[in-house]
Structure 1
């Protein structure tokens, strides 16, 4: 068979068709990043930043949340005791898993850092398996930096005996400022 211009055109069309089919397949099998709503830049001071293996940002590789943006993700309440306070308290804030879903986080470990640079590794499975709260209020009062605020990682320890372990207590980061997904 001789290679002529008709054969060449058919070859180019087949190659183009194959390339388009491959591109469509890749787009359909990719994570639904484009389905996630864009993250607007904060209008006020950022109270939390999320970085690392995230798909949605509003800065240079970081998703920064001001208070209104953060609470706009949807709040919930957890009533539990803590190793640092007396009796049960009602905490209000955003579930950590909601934040990670919003930014398209993928990873197995989260480094949580406080304002004083205390940093601890938390397994991502904690946020998937338990209703871990990024609390901004305790007993209806906004938490201040002087008392564990503006955000405190709170585990529902009264609901899950496994969360009453001393090692889990190290993960209750108060004055939380940043989460790094790895």
Structure 2
């Protein structure tokens, strides 16, 4: 009976397992979800995302129109803010949006149309689930009323967030984000 080289068999099995593991580790968090691919926006660009992201559609950035943001699925909550009465905000949870882009790093640098800038720690986004709102009470937000995008926290759910630190992490008229 011929002898079998068991070290070669083990090595082949290990290499095959390593290749399968590597293939699985490159799968994005949303690979099994019914989220749309990141195509080019058909409407006016309302948001440009750069930095440590793995999905791009224009060079090293990801650009979005309102339809492509809302195509990720709308989430909502109703809350009272320092700037509004109790209203219903609708949009995409920021952690879901950043997972879709494959974002990494330690913080998200946000810039508004009026050049206001802020930084939001990525671990805070994952834990506290702020919304990148596209609508207030079912209506798109015009530029002169927080629009087109407004990062907002659910202050009713967590009264401890009612502080200047968190208020300053709520940019409205959001125009760009950079994962760093």
Task: Give how far 1:21 is off.
Answer: 5.3
Secondary structure in 1 aligned to 2:169?
A: coil
Q: How does 1:76-115 map to 2 (within 5 A)?
A: 76-85=75-84, 87-115=85-113
Q: How does 1:151-162 map to 2 (within 5 A)?
A: 151-162=149-160
Match of 2:23 among 28, 48, 62: 28
TM-score, length of structure 1 as denominator length: 0.82
Q: TM-score, normalised by structure 2?
A: 0.83
Contact 2:29 2:100 in 1 (8 A): no
Q: Which residue of 2 aligns with 1:50?
A: 49
> Does 157-166 or 50-59 show the bigger shift?
157-166
Contact 1:33 1:55 in 2 (8 A): no
Verify: 1:179 aligned to 2:174, yes or no.
Answer: no
CA contact (8 A) 1:38 1:56 kept: no
Q: What is the root-mean-square deviation of aligned Cα atoms in Å?
A: 2.5
Runs (4+) of structure 1 exceeding 6 A deviation are none
Structure 2 gaps of 5+ residues are 1-7
Task: Report the Cα offset of residue 26 of structure 1.
Answer: 6.9
Q: Aligned partners of 1:134 and 1:125: how far apart in 2?
A: 16
User: Does structure 1 residue 63 correspond to structure 2 residue 79?
Assistant: no
CA distance in 2, matches of 1:173, 1:149: 10
Task: Choose 109-118 or 22-31, whichever is displaced more.
Answer: 22-31
CA contact (8 A) 1:33 1:56 kept: no
Q: Bigger radius of gyration, 1 or 2? A: 1
CA offset at residue 29 of structure 1? 6.2
Q: In the alignment, which residue of structure 1 is the partner of 2:4?
A: none
How far does residue 162 in structure 1 lie from its aligned partner after superposition?
A: 2.5
Paired with 2:73 and 2:38, the residues of 1 have a C-alpha distance of 15
Aligned-residue offset at 1:92: 0.9
